[in-house]
Homo-oligomer: A and B are copies of this chain.
Amino acid sequence: MNIKDIARLSGVGIATVSRVINNSGVVSDATRAKVMAVVREHNYIPNGNASNLKKTRSNTIALMVKGIANPFFADMIKEVERQVNLRGCPLLIQHVEDGVDEINAALQLVKEKNLYGVIFMGGTYDHSEEKFKQLPIPFVLTTITTTKDVDPAVFSSVIIDDMQESYKAVSYLISLGHRNICFLARFPLVQHTTGNRRLMGYIKALEDHGIEYDASLVEDCEYSPSSGFTATKRLLNKKKDITAVFAASDTIAIGAAKALLSLGLSIPNDISIIGFDGIEMAEYYHPSLDTISQPGVDMAKASVEILFDLISGQSENKHVVFESVLVKRGSCKKINKQA
């Protein structure tokens, strides 16, 4: 069943069929009805490869996700899909393997599929301006941005200020009297990652409050409960006087909490803990965990809006910074005795 068959069966030319199914050009109501009847009767679906080949640009939007298993991304992905579909476009979800360059992967996909636009979710910050310029179609970076030496005019982004939000979390702990605050994140010494930005906020907060930065309080850790668990155990072995834990994600925080609780420590009486992201699981943990909650769904929505504005040429590249909120659920407490 192809466009030719439909044309023959409905007694019109193929151009007319094309006009009907694409709602383009002008077609008389009678003809349209006739064609649609045949289309429906035979359950005709146009061949996307043929139409994407002919059109220089398909209508497909790609979402490049680095860390598809990240629960924080789960709802964001759903919202991106919803918003893209709402605009009549199919969404191609592409998982980017850890360690793979997401821009390269997108570059490949663009050539391969004639993409309409791309959204990047998760990943690193260290792409060159040159690399971005290679991308011939509109794109938005969500949850990531770049180092400052890239001209903001060549890309769009939807982010939170990781450094400032991290600063917020640590300042909160300090305001509660904590001085020995450890930090858990994906190896933060690697530049240009979210973990690194959050580390900068951590360090700045300490410095601004006259607390000396102690690198041995920072532990390398994957974004998962199991990794948070083992990292916390390692930390407790070498440092006995920790009074608070700041985890770069809620998933890490959950693992850290488990490490503390299973040692018989009480949260927040013996030790305070705060995470980052605002995933549902952190709220339903027992005790409920404090966190820096990002407005993930709003960010997803904004990303799609910006992308489509770019596509329609209605606007230039844009950079939106969302506010996160410090959610206090009781897992952080004023310190009573100084270690």
- State whether the Cβ of A41 lies closer than 8 Å to any Cβ in chain B: no
Within 8 A of B (CB), among A87-140: 91-95, 108, 111-114
Specify which chain B residues have a CB less than 8 angstroms from the CB of A75 in the assembled complex.
69
A262–B285 Cα distance when bound, in Å, is: 10
Number of chain copies forming the complex: 2
CB A115 to nearest CB in B, in angstroms, measures: 11
User: Do residues A280 and B226 form an inter-chain contact, with CB atoms below 8 A?
Assistant: yes
User: Do residues B284 and A225 form an inter-chain contact, with CB atoms below 8 A?
Assistant: yes
| Known contacts A49-B49, A108-B45; A262 and B286 CB within 8 A of each other | yes
User: Do residues B47 and A226 form an inter-chain contact, with CB atoms below 8 A?
Assistant: no
19 A-B pairs within 8 Å (CB atoms) are namely: A45-B108, A45-B111, A45-B112, A48-B49, A50-B53, A68-B77, A69-B74, A91-B95, A93-B93, A224-B280, A225-B280, A225-B281, A226-B283, A254-B281, A254-B285, A255-B284, A258-B284, A258-B285, A285-B285
Residues of A within 8 A of B (CB): 45-50, 52-53, 58, 68-69, 71, 74-75, 77-78, 81, 91-95, 108, 111-114, 224-226, 229, 254-255, 257-258, 261-262, 280-281, 283-286, 288
